[in-house]
Amino acid sequence: MSNCGFRCGRAVAPVGVAWPALAAWVALAAWSGLAQASATFTIKNLDGAGQGFNDPTPAAPVGGNSGTTLGQQRMNVFLEVTGIWGKLIDSNVPIVIDANFGSLSCSASSITLGQALSTGFEFNVPGLPPDMLFPEALADRIAGVDLAPGMSDIQATFNGDLAACSGGEEDWYYGFDGQASGAQIDLVSVVLHELGHGLGFFSGVDDTTGELAGASASSRGFIDSFSAHLFDNGTGQLWSDMSNAERAASAMNVRHLVWQGDNVAAMAPQVLALGAPRIAVSPALAALEGALAEANFGPYLSAGPVHGRVVVGNPVDGCGQLPSYAGEVVLFQGGDCPSVQKTSLAESVGALAVLIADPDGVSPPSSIEVPLGQKTMFPVSIPTIGVTLDDADLLAGGGETATLDADGTRLVGTDAQGRMYLYASDPIIEGSSVSHWDPLARPNLTEEPNASYEVSHDMRMEAALMRDIGWTPFCGNGQIDQAEQCDSGTANSDTTPGACRTDCTLAHCGDGVVDPGEGCDDGAANSDTVPGACHTTCVAPVCGDGIVDPGEACDDGAANGTTPSCDLHCNIPPASSGGCGCGVGEGAGSGEMGVWLLVGLGLLLSKRRRTS
């Protein structure tokens, strides 16, 4: 089973959390930003006095977080994050989270930032589809009742020793605006990520053995709601149809494990960029895997292809005096020199592109990321691409010419059919493999296995996956739930006059549709001050509305006709009563007589023509 740790670096310790006695709890009411999504979260603070959420250390408000102590700011982040998730999913049952800040594994090369998991699974209970495991919160949502009263739904812990783990080089950023500096890690992103695991973005299958959750001597076990959507495009099989050995092999089948679900498939083109990186070499290397990673600096290969002979960088770390690499693709296989500095130096001696071998020997290679400060210090204009250690060894043999380009028809992070890659890795990385998106995805997604310098709070892909696994919205189910005003199911429409809208609100003035009883409706463009605009009451502009609309000379509203400045027909009366000066249709009196005279003359002339 995936343990779902979120990390800096590669290694992640398995989840094993001892939960202390309850210290305090905070309930968060549902946010009402979207009528079709509304969930209530209860956060149970399990930290002791003076620790974690209760840390009294003074702190200055930052990035929209108004807390004045570290503890307050941490709790405010949780309130912010559960508010975001509360807008994306529906549930009538409160979602209870046991949460604390504690000690998590860290080393010289990696730091576990946080970890979360559902407290358990439910299956074969009334209200749930048969023979499938559902994490607690999702099971409650589908059943409509709390299936395990008194038990929390999610356990979550976050690194309370981040500064110490990093030797004082990094600490949490508590703002809501995603503006963490290079020395800070955005806590909002990490909590969003971890609660996603607790809500169901994780596999219950043992990644190493392929064994289903609940397996025993007498039972094969049961597929879970996440793993039921895992598909291997290399073998053409769903995980639910595989043997244990086949699932274990699929978990390591790099860039072949994909998500099969309608909502994710529909959302991917709206989120991901086109131009998946690829490599071809001549003469061909049969064993070349070709799994690539992109850097967050320099141009992407979608900007244009690169073609050149592959040479091994010398010195190996790329930071000494380099020979000329004019017209060549330079491969670096080690060293502590920052990757962007390697590329900058290689470019200065003529290199067309740089390949960097993954230092941990893991496939697919990790994204190559540096903080903003390094990108500013070493601006580059050639691409940098990550390759696996095995592919680097093959390319280092010499004699190959590489063509690096992008498939302009493929989304970055999907297979040829547009299905999202999951993180199949070789070897398996406990806590990371399977239960994350492949880090190739561009832009970076929240549920990737590593923290990124490119902070994003965009949850569209994660929300789409939640719908695929069973977090279906109430709006559209044909029943009026929670705060919905209406629900006509598939007949909900944002274009049909009078229909229930797709956010389950009643048709109304301002929705951009001319509904029964309305004279007009321009949606957000409705205005009570703009000449000619449909009014905010969905009444068409008329003389007497107090706005000089096109074709009107004046409009004093209710005062029309009572003052010498504007008559009842929104025309300006003549300056004196001695002469008409009125145009056709301006009002009563001599102007009207002129109209009738003209009409009379027209009739007389017509009659004369008929009798001549």
Going along the chain from its start, the domains and CATH numbers come out as: 5-209 (no CATH), 280-406 (3.50.30.30)
| Res 368: pLDDT | 95
Six token digits for residue 568: 């009842």
Pairing between β-strand 95-102 and β-strand 154-159 as defined by DSSP bridges = parallel
| Res 475: pLDDT | 85
Q: What are phi and psi of 492, to 5 degrees?
A: -55, 140
Six token digits for residue 94: 């409160």
Alpha-carbon Rg for the chain in angstroms: 33
| Res 337: pLDDT | 87
Amino acid at 382: I
| Res 116: pLDDT | 97
| Res 113: pLDDT | 95
| Res 305: pLDDT | 98
First-to-last alpha carbon distance for the chain, in angstroms, is 104
Amino acid at 8: C
| Res 37: pLDDT | 57
- Strand-pairing partners, residue 106, are 111
The pTM score is: 0.80
**Taking Cα atoms as reference points, which of 519, 364, 532 lies closest to residue 450?**
364
| Res 576: pLDDT | 42
Q: What are phi and psi of 406, to 5 degrees?
A: -130, 140
User: Tens of pLDDT along 144-193?
Assistant: 999 999 999 999 999 999 999 998 889 999 999 999 988 899 999 999 99
| Res 108: pLDDT | 78
| Res 102: pLDDT | 94
- Strand-pairing partners, residue 185, are 172
CA distances from 265 to 162, 260, 268, 278 (A): 37, 8, 6, 22
Other Cβ atoms within 10 Å of 537 Cβ, number: 12
| pLDDT, averaged across the chain | 88
Six token digits for residue 259: 């998500």
Q: Which residues of the chain have pLDDT under 50?
A: 1-36, 576-612
